[in-house]
Structure 1
Amino acid sequence: MRRLTAPLVRCALVLALLLAPVACDEPGREKVTIMVPWSGTEFEAFYAVVKDFEREHPGIDVEPQVTRALTQQLDAASTADAKPDLAVLPTVGAIAKYRQEKVLLKLDIDTDAYVQPFRGLGMNDGDVYAVPVKADVKSLLWYDARHTARPGENRAALRSRSGWCLGLESGPTSGWPGADWIADILLSDAGIDAYTAWASGRAGWNERPVKDAWTMWGRTVAGALEDASTRNFRDAARGMAGKGCSLGHGALSAMPFASAQVRDSRYTYVPSSRDALEASADFVGKFTRNKAADEFLRYLAGTKAQRTWVNEPGFALSAHKGVTQYDNAVQGRIAEILRSSRYTLCFSAADAMEPDVSAAFYRAVLDYANGRKLTPLLAALDKVQKELGYSSPQSPPTPRPLCSIPNPP
């Protein structure tokens, strides 16, 4: 667990595997525990919302439990009968997993204010199990406009570009930046149906068009693969200033930019496709029957908290229809994609997969970057998928649809 600064935590103890802070309880005050994966500015933005909630609800204390290995920690907590009241679920696969295990509780909360596909991915048979409190658009190409020509908004133009910034290290989830990029290529080149079939476990890894997407990614970033598996994904983009690398791929929140640097005359972006884009979200689900947790979750999902959150550091986006004002103009335009009828949004493929499959996907990305042959890597992923029963139509791992137009015309 990354150590939090003193102003952010009142008192915390690391308890065995759970990394759970212990509250300085006052008589008559209720406590809500929430497990989160965020650190740095992302955590600071979330904690600003926590403090606002506590000021408006003086009888409730919110105690974050911070961990980079969230699903592993949540599994350990469930086994030890020490579940947090709430937990961030960064993948749809995790939502499905904990719902099927009957540890994720149904929510009495209205999510109609959220756009698709985010709202539907937190539901099952009309019941709400998770709320999308923070969103991202992943299909973005970043460059420093002072030094680098604007990238073309089509795959053919991008194939001829070099100088990509590439870092794959991200602690327990190392490999995900490459997984997102491969998924983006598949979505752009093969289309929504092929993307959905693959993300849902109905298409093989060692077959076209999935194999083609891996091959194209390898060719695109060939000049950046050396040491990429051990280079931090944020550090990789720090050279995007006319020397070193010049182009980056991914969500704004994954870039190491300061807010003042994100503007059209400095660090800016183009979408990687003209029609379908990859998106993601951090959901929050409930694991106990703590009524105070219900109160906090309703607050997190509400317009006021969402408006506060997106204008704090960290470049969070909101999939809430009522959140349209962003202090940073570039960030605001990216957020408009989440409400636009121009694009089809497809939820992140790796985030839609069963957690063990996505973990194997990330490991394969690292192995591929380190020079392993592609065919045996993809054959191994097919085997993992089959052994987990992920491709079985009787037990689909995620709800549908993964792709939709946020506000159809």
Structure 2
Amino acid sequence: MRRPRARTLGIVCVCLVLLVAGVAAGVRWARGWTGSVTVLANWSGGEKEQFERAVHAFEQEHRIDVVYQGSSALSQVLAADLAAGTQPDVAVLPGPGELMAYAAEGRLEPLDGLFDAGDYDGVWRPKVAGEDGRARTYWLPVKTGLKSMVWHAGGLSDAETAKVAGEPDGWCLGMESGATSGWPGTDWVEDILLQQAGPGVYAQWATGDLAWTDARVRRAWETWGDLVGAGDRKRAERVLKDDFGQDCPRERLEHQGSFRAADWKRVDGDFVHSAQVIPGARPDAGHWEVSGDLAALLNATDEAKELIRFLADPGTGLPDFTANKRAAAPDRHDDPVRRKIGSILRGSRQTLCWDASDTMPPVLRDAFHQAVLHFLVSPDALEDQLRRLDALRDGRGPTLPVCGGG
């Protein structure tokens, strides 16, 4: 008996997939499904699963099909879709930088009236200028992250933490992250500038009003270089190849965000504010750098608007952590570290500042990523790197309040 050829099998498989998809669509139509909404984001793994569990309830209640499109090259995919006129209904981007530019170009639909802005502190949902110059709300924070954190195995005293931090070999550091390699280094430089120079200077720099060659910015780079041993060729080669999410030995420290909470929990880890180990931190340091995944509306369909309302509902179980002040209180978490993180992110008494590179235009942000990689290898060439970055800050677009609260 002859076996079917590979091409024949392929055609049969494709037909079966189409048949299943058609049956599924028919079943949904028969049950009164009213439409669909497409969502573009870069969530994968547990975050994607948590999002899909949350929107399953939305689908069942509203009979609206949520079509999730995941991509690790989020910026490039969205830009191509917009150019082709095939943009998703809702896009979830990490940070406001690109969203501000899209709002100014008239690419985004305002969200005013779709959720209660009072549920979020101003830093999370600022009003920014649209194409007509009017200030409106153009994004909704669906997931937030805390930075300015130094993780350590639990039980270390402040003195012991400072001692480990004083040696380059005391740090876990990995720069590899595919197309965005280098961002862990930008987090370091940003955080050091925030703790050494304060929120005012930090905000000026983040929005393009302060030169990269300013002495305070240069000092932040040099401080980071001293901490992690920039210029040591063997160390630099290892750091450039190491993945940012690698396991960190418990005897070392790690300057990373709240997304690492689950990894450090395995060794009963905890964190201190980065100002405790950053040389030259101001006496009033203690401000927190933050990040966020922000949902924006590109097609104002009824289905897409309904999804935005759902995402803003304080009862929706989205990927951690939420900035919605009406959501379940952080003290309901069993994990004390998670309680602490949640309280900081939703605490109006804290000064929270956006990750600076997330507020920058993509070209400048990407150049910043590359500059930290070069700096680790050749710190003596810092001045040239800073001049190149400074040349890219011309023609900046609309800005937003970088820091808030406190």
TM-score normalised according to structure 2 size = 0.82
Number of residue equivalences = 362
Q: What SS is found at the alignment partner of 1:281?
A: strand
Q: 1:276 aligns with which of 287, 295, 303?
A: 287
Indicate yes or no: 2:339 matched with 1:332.
Answer: yes
Task: Confirm or deny that 1:168 pairs with 2:175.
Answer: yes
Say if 2:165 and 2:253, in contact at 8 Å, map to a contact too: no
After superposition, give the CA deviation of every residue in 1:103-129 in whole Å (9 maximum; x if it has no partner).
111123232201231121678655211
Q: Distance in 2 between matches of 1:121 and 1:227?
A: 43
Q: Match for residue 207 of structure 1?
A: 214
* Cα distance, 1:328 vs structure 2: 2.7
1:140 corresponds in structure 2 to 149
Residue deviations 1:172-194 (CA, integer Å, cap 9, x gap): 21111110111000000011111
Which of the numbers 45, 49, 58 marks the counterpart of 1:44?
A: 49
From 255, 275, 278, the equivalent of 1:249 is 255
Post-superposition Cα deviations, 1:140-190, rounded to whole Å, max 9, x if no partner, equal 1101126x5546899x99556751010111122111111011100000001
Shift of 1:397: 3.1
Residues 69 and 157 from structure 1, CA distance in 2 versus in 1: closer, same or farther, beyond 3 angstroms? Answer: same
SS in 2 for 1:385: coil
SS of 1:282's partner is strand
Question: SS state of the match for residue 117, structure 2?
Answer: coil
Q: Which structure dedicates a bigger proportion of its chain to helix?
A: 2
1:114 aligns with 2:120: yes
Partner Cα separation in structure 2 for residue 90 and residue 201 of structure 1 = 19
- What is the deviation of 1:309? 2.5
Which of 367, 371, 374 matches 2:378?
Answer: 371
Deviations 1:301-360 (A, max 9, x none): 11011xx225xxxxx211111121334321121110123344311111111111211111
Quick one: percent identity of the two aligned structures?
A: 35
For structure 2, the residue ranges without an aligned partner over 5 or more in a row are: 1-15, 276-284
Q: Structure 2: how far apart are the matches of 1:168 and 1:216?
A: 18
Equivalent residue, structure 1, for 2:399: 398
Distance 1:366 1:32 in 2: 39
Q: Following superposition of structure 1 onto structure 2, how do residues 156-305 of structure 1 map, counting pairs within 5 Å?
A: 158-159=165-166, 162-222=169-229, 225-235=236-246, 238-242=247-251, 246-254=252-260, 257=263, 261=266, 266-273=268-275, 274-305=285-316
2:36 aligns with 31
Equivalents in 2 of 1:131, 1:137: separation in Å? 17
Q: Is the 8 A contact 2:164 2:170 kept in 1?
A: no
Q: Is the 8 A contact 1:123 1:130 kept in 2?
A: no
User: Who wins on radius of gyration, i.e. which is larger?
Assistant: 2
Amino acid at match of 1:239: C
Structure 1 residues 257 and 294: alpha-carbon distance in aligned structure 2, compared to 1, 3 A threshold: same
| Residue 377 of structure 1, CA deviation | 1.0
Q: Is the 8 A contact 1:353 1:397 kept in 2?
A: no
AA aligned opposite 2:240: S
> Do the aligned residues in 2 keep the contact of 1:92 with 1:121 (CA within 8 Å)?
no
Distance 1:114 1:123, change over 3 A: farther
The 2-side partners of 1:381 and 1:403 are apart by 22
Summarize the Cα distance change of 1:157–1:340 in structure 2 as closer, same or farther, 3 Å threshold.
farther
Q: CA 1:254/1:100 → structure 2, altered by over 3 Å: closer, same or farther?
A: farther
| Paired residue secondary structure (2:293) | strand
Q: What pairs up with 1:308-347 in 2 under 5 angstroms?
A: 308-309=317-318, 316-323=320-327, 324=329, 325-347=332-354
Q: CA deviation at 1:226?
A: 3.5
What RMSD in Å do the two structures reach over aligned CA positions? 2.8
Measure the CA separation in 2 of the matches of 1:38 and 1:247.
27
- 3-state SS, counterpart of residue 105 of structure 1: coil
Partner of 2:391: 383
Report the 3-state secondary structure (helix = DSSP H, G, I; strand = E; otherwise coil) of the residue aligned with 2:213.
Answer: coil
Q: Tell me if 1:80 matches 2:91.
A: no
Instruction: Tell me the equivalent position of 1:8.
Output: none
Letter in 2 for 1:133: V
